[in-house]
Chains A and B, each alone.
Chain A
Amino acid sequence: MALIYDLFVQVAQLLLVLALAPLLTGYIRKIKANLLRRQGPPLLQPYRDLLKLIRKEVVLAENASWIFRVAPYLVFATTLIAASLVPTFATGLVFSSAADLIAIVALLGSARFILALAGLDVGTSFGGIGSSREMMIASLAEPAMLMIVFTLSLLAGSTQLSSVSAFMQGPDVGLRVSLGMALVALIMVAVAENARIPVDNPATHLELTMIHEAMILEYSGRHLAVIEAAASLKLLLYFSLIACLFAPWGIATAGQGVVAMAIGVASYIAKLAAGGLLLAVFETGTAKMRVFRVSDFLGAALMLGLLAALLLFVSRSV
């Protein structure tokens, strides 16, 4: 019986992230528009966009191979599984032993690998430029992310997200320099990984500095819809990750009752709203940087992560 309840919570979590992801994207767009004194599209616009795209036919380049057609679904499935393994409203999910934090980072890496290949498949210059820059950014963002993982798991004595989250809720945490550095580095990585300003601009097409949008330029119809859904899932994943690691208040633990779960869901949505607001304000107040300045930006994130880990290695408290 307990297993069925746990399984239900796991599936509920999967459906929750799936349902909330486009809303988060719409919410951030709305706030950004409001900050610029525009009215902006309605909150539900991303859902409508997805529905519209799904109904349209796919226009496929003549020399597109099977990779081009399979990639959207693979990217979507991989991102969805990764997102459903990050605790949102409850920890100790039934499948959480399948992948620890390192494996979740690697799953996102697999999705990126496939998408970068799809960008090269048709053989256009835009697709190539997007893929090549995406991999350059990943080559710095991934090690930075792993250094953050190191820092957290050294503190918590585990790479398992549930354990780390429980540790961060517990009394042993205290204020630490390492944690502050890791948080800053994690936010920098999240900004870069989700192609947000100042690394990339999610709202533009046809700007020479673009990365993610260039890679998926040849996509249309349902393929594009699936890729867009995967992109908003990835954004939600990073929000959930930051929330469950650095703001784990209100998260229910496995086996708790319905009330605790409801509190968990409510606090999760509140955290998303706060995070989305911060991201929108940050993006509105920042200018996009040149693509070769990104390496400095992410290099700083990597160094912060490494410093955070080193501090823990040399401090006696581990």
Chain B
Amino acid sequence: MSDVSADSLAEIYRTTYRALVRFLYRKVWDAERAEDLAQEAFARAVVHKPENARGWLFIVAANMARDEARRAARERRHLTLLTAESREGAPASDEVFQAEQERAQMRAALEQLTPRDREVLLLWDAGLSYSEIAAHTGLAQGAVGTTLARARRRLVEAHEAGEKGEHVARG
């Protein structure tokens, strides 16, 4: 029995770990931290042996990321100011700079979505089905498509607006 759940958990780990890291990364924006939290979520799953381990993992991960965000929120405000200043002085290679800029734009666009739209979008991108997303968010399954449609449109629009703003600022 414990063997079965350990085996199936090992299988879920193999198929879901990276998606969970990706999901967490878009919440904490730190690859190492996202991996730590994903490991922690799996460690808890080993202890709790939840029935629907995959859905459970994403709920636990989302909660951990929320706690993390609250804790970091206060520090972040003035840290952002500091990095904004220091970044100008540090010339990075074009590719690194470009990739970082794209990521920053994406992050800004993603943060313009409502929390629920963002959650649904990230869960879908992590590979969860409509029914799993419905169970996770409390939405009716029929509403998941509508929410996703809105979230995708807003993401693309916010990103385009961000790009335009960037060009205006540069030009």
Do A and B form a real pair? no
Binding site for B on A (CB under 8 A): none
Binding site for A on B (CB under 8 A): none
